[in-house]
Structure 1
Amino acid sequence: MAGTGPTPTSDHHPDELVTSITNRLKQLSAASADCSIYTVPDKLRRGNEEAYTPRVVAIGPYHRDNKSLKPMEDQKLRYLQSFLQYNGRCGLEDYIKRIKSREDQVRKCYNKPIVLDSDEFAQMMLLDGIFAIQLFLMQWNYKWRPSRDPIFGKPWMINDVRRDMWLLENQIPFFAVQELFEMAYGSHQKHTPGLLELAYGFLRPAIKIEKPPEGLLESEVKHFLDAIRLSYLPSVRKAPYESHEEFKFIPSATELAAAGVKLTRGKSQCLLDIKFKNGALEIPCLRLYHSTESYFRNIIAFEQCYYRDDSYLIDYMAFMDHLINTPGDAKLLIGEGIIENWLGNEDAATRLLNAFCNDTYMWTRNAYFHDLRHELVAHCRRPWNEWKATFKRKHCSSPLAVLSVTAGVVLLLLTIAQTVCSFLSLK
């Protein structure tokens, strides 16, 4: 019957198809090996689109076509001009050659192909890299700032630029910026801090760290968001937990208190330095600002894409999420100084902490707080701990109550003593 067989053209051009598929496979393997800069997964983006989107400046390729960010492109050129005037050691041609020499390596850092020719790509990387360096230097030394600088001269603008610099989709590889910086400020500029120290100095007002983590090498840093993440990690890191047992959900703050756990504010500057000892749960202070949601969401998205076996911040936020189920839990932690809340009320703090891990997959084998979870659950399951806590709450909540209990105990002991004496006198 006519029309039932294969069309005569179905076997045409097999070589072209083989070549096309082979090229696509090559692109996939290259991206999976070196990729560290991602577009945010849709399931995370739906939680808060604005938290992942730049407001005033595009860094890298993903948002460069956003028309609302175009005005900052002229400022990048001004910073480049200032950079070249101050640094006579290398010329514009030298910087372009260096960027082009690393083009393939830089392109592989992105999880999507960059549709720019070599010249366009090199120009983007040069302008964005120099823009970052100039920002860091002007934050470090105010004398470097031009009069009426449109960024540092407006508090709201510098805050928005700083925020845009930590977005996952707004990153460029750290090594590319580092090479530009070394060309301009190598060993001959002994009084200028290193790029990583300058980066932390620029980001410090937002991430509230006193100094860069000890022992951190610039070669470890993938990009500026990764530098922020590394600032939160403990100095001693745990190996992934090899067991695949059930993930433990800890009781909430009020449930822990009801079971006799004393919640206290820890002195450590490391958020992950949470300790449980002798019935006391010590938790370092977590400060909640209006910018907190954006940078934690971006760190979590980065860990979800890149750090499968050591996603420390995801585990930390899951721990805090389970600790705070209601505004009452948040109020308890705020009262103890464990949470410093600048969001207005307990409801806002609760909603924020409960939203971080929505649609985020938690790998049980990389749970940093695995042992801590088990200890807390085991403590709350012991009836003696709950009874002791209930007794303290009902009978030892005030000096008068303690006095009453003490008097009752003394009276009971006197009664027992009198009974024993009476019994002995009958013999």
Structure 2
Amino acid sequence: MAGAGTTPASDDHLKELANSIRSKFEGLSLPSDCCIFTVPERLWRTNEEAYTPRVIAIGPYHRLNPSLKRGEDHKLLYLQNFFQHNNNYRLEDYIQKVKSWEEDARNCYDKQIKLDSGKFAEMMLLDGIFVIQLFLMNLESWRRLPNDQIFGKPWMLGDVCRDMSLLENQIPFFVIQQLFEMAFGTHQQLPELVSSFFGPVMGKEKLPELAMDSKVKHFVHLISLSFSPSATELGKEQNESDKEMKFTPSATELGKEQNENDKEMKFTPSATELVSAGVKLVGVESTCLFNIEFKNGVLNIPYLALYDTTESNFRNIMAFEQCYWENRYLTDYMDFMHHLVDTVADAELLINNEIIENWLSNKEAVARVINALGKENELSINYYFSSLSDELIKHCKKRHNKWKATLKREHCSNPWVIISVIAAAVLLVLTIAQTVLSALSLG
């Protein structure tokens, strides 16, 4: 029987091993409010540079990077400047306050932070005050330090803004909010400061109401909220979903549907395929990227401006969406665009129709960026563009749409061709009429 030959010596060894395992249980817990994540490996390997800070480390994940050491010294300069203009509380008071938030702050990270209480509080205070000072200096130039390395070099400020938009480079927003309130007695000015600093990233001069009403976790969360559909659009999407089939189809219907689906396109058609099927692509102004509409053969798509920083900004928002599970609007949007822009020719169509504003090197770069952003993404079950994709696929399936498009493209491309087609049609009608009249006269 198993275990019958166990000796006291082996029992001691088993107990020692069991105790060793039990000791590893200490400190293990699932964070209750985890919202700051390390980027999943499958996303990281697609573009490591897009997730890595260049000049400043915020939070614990990149603080030991030797290339960011100068940023740590700059934080101390900003902290010193902060206390020169804020004498309501001592440095000790701020440290004590930050320590009181330590557990809540640690729980925001998806990895155990191996810093003792003092080092953790120092990091939160330095990073929090640095962010506040940066926001204030950005809006009020009189606060800036002489020979400030960030504001003295235009490219440096852009890199700092980019670094603060990275998922792994965050501290909890409540830390910044409460430090600001401690210093100024209110945080009413904070939204204006945030909007001014992150405006270029959000593409908006003011935070949308949805972002203001939400409990912001950190800056990447806030930026993602600035891209969210309005309540009106969400209501419209819900109403469309309510109109869908409510009953369960029979086995025969399911089989028929499966056979038909096997012959159909599985994804949103590309821009070239849509145009070949007679769809008109039109760029429109909208407060939300996701307000794409297909009506009467016209696909209205909000303008998308592509800059050198767009890929990094979008990647970090999408990584957050896929880790946090709250919504996946940008992930779904990039999946839609990824299928719409299958080739360079598709990218050229969207550029020519003023849907994409290209600030990259060329149209090949546009296709590369959009296709790169569409890879390795986990889509939500409730794909935001599901109904729209179905409509476009159904339109492209209908052969007469392609015939009409071909006729228009090949025979109605200019006035002279149209006149020729009309003349040929009239001649054909007259010939038929003459034939009929001749037959009748012979009868």
After superposition, give the CA deviation of every residue in 1:298-321 in whole Å (9 maximum; x if it has no partner).
1111111112x5211110000000
With the length of structure 1 as denominator, give the TM-score of the two structures: 0.90
- For the residues of structure 2 that align with 1:417 and 1:310, how far apart are their CA atoms? 65
- Change in Cα spacing, 1:409 to 1:168, as seen in structure 2 (3 Å) is same
1:175 matched residue in structure 2? 174
Counterpart in 2 of 1:34? 33
Alignment of 1:7-406 (within 5 A): 7-13=10-16, 16-17=19-20, 19-23=22-26, 26-27=28-29, 29=30, 31=31, 33-187=32-186, 194-217=189-212, 219-236=214-231, 237=234, 238=237, 248-307=266-325, 310-363=327-380, 365-406=381-422
Aligned to 1:63, what secondary structure does the other structure show? Answer: coil
Structure 1: state its 5+ residue gaps. Answer: none
Unpaired runs of at least 5, structure 2 = 249-257
Distance change >3 Å, CA 144–CA 415, structure 1 → 2: farther
Name the CA distance, whole Å, in 1 between partners of 2:40 and 2:294: 35
Quote the residue 1:410 is aligned against.
Answer: 426
Shift of 1:419: 4.5
Deviation at 1:99, TM superposition (A): 1.0
Distance in 1 between residues matched to 2:205 and 2:398, nearest whole Å: 41
Q: Structure 2 CA distance, aligned partners of 1:217 and 1:14? A: 53
For 2:433 and 2:374, the matched residues in 1 are separated by: 60
Inter-partner Cα distance in structure 2 for 1:369 and 1:89 = 52
- CA shift, 1:136, in A, is 1.1
Closer, same or farther: CA 325–219 of 1 in aligned 2, 3 Å: closer
Give the deviation of 1:118 after TM superposition: 0.7
Cα deviation digits, residues 381-410 of structure 1 (max 9, x gap): 111111111111111111221221222233
C-alpha offsets along residues 215-237 of structure 1, whole Å, 9 cap, x if unaligned? Answer: 43365211001111111111123
Q: Which segment drifts farther, 116-125 or 339-348?
A: 339-348
Query: CA 1:420–1:50 in 2, change beyond 3 Å: closer, same or farther?
Result: same
Identity of aligned residues (%): 54
Mapped to 1, the partners of 2:281 and 2:174 lie a distance apart of: 43
Kept in 1, the 8 Å contact 2:210–2:225? The answer is no
Residue 14 of structure 2 aligns to which amino acid in structure 1? D
**Preserved contact between residue 248 and residue 373 of structure 1 (Cα < 8 Å):** no
Q: How many angstroms apart in 2 are the aligned matches of 1:137 and 1:175?
A: 18
Contact 2:196 2:205 in 1 (8 A): no
- Structure-1 separation of matches of 2:288 and 2:423: 46
- What is the alpha-carbon distance in structure 2 between the residues aligned to residue 44 and residue 274 of structure 1? 26
Q: SS of the residue aligned with 2:393?
A: helix
AA at the equivalent of 2:84: Q
Q: What amino acid maps onto 1:233 in structure 2?
A: S
* Range 393-402 or range 169-178, more displaced: 393-402
1:196 & 1:144 partners in 2: Cα distance? 19
1:20 aligned partner, one-letter code: S
State the alpha-carbon separation in 2 of the partners of residues 156 and 202 from structure 1: 14
The CA RMSD measured in Å over matched residues stands at 2.5
What SS does the aligned partner of 1:217 have? helix
Provide Cα deviations, 1:176-202, integer angstroms capped at 9, x if missing partner.
110001112234xxxx85323311210
Q: Matches of 2:108 and 2:184 in 1, distance apart?
A: 25
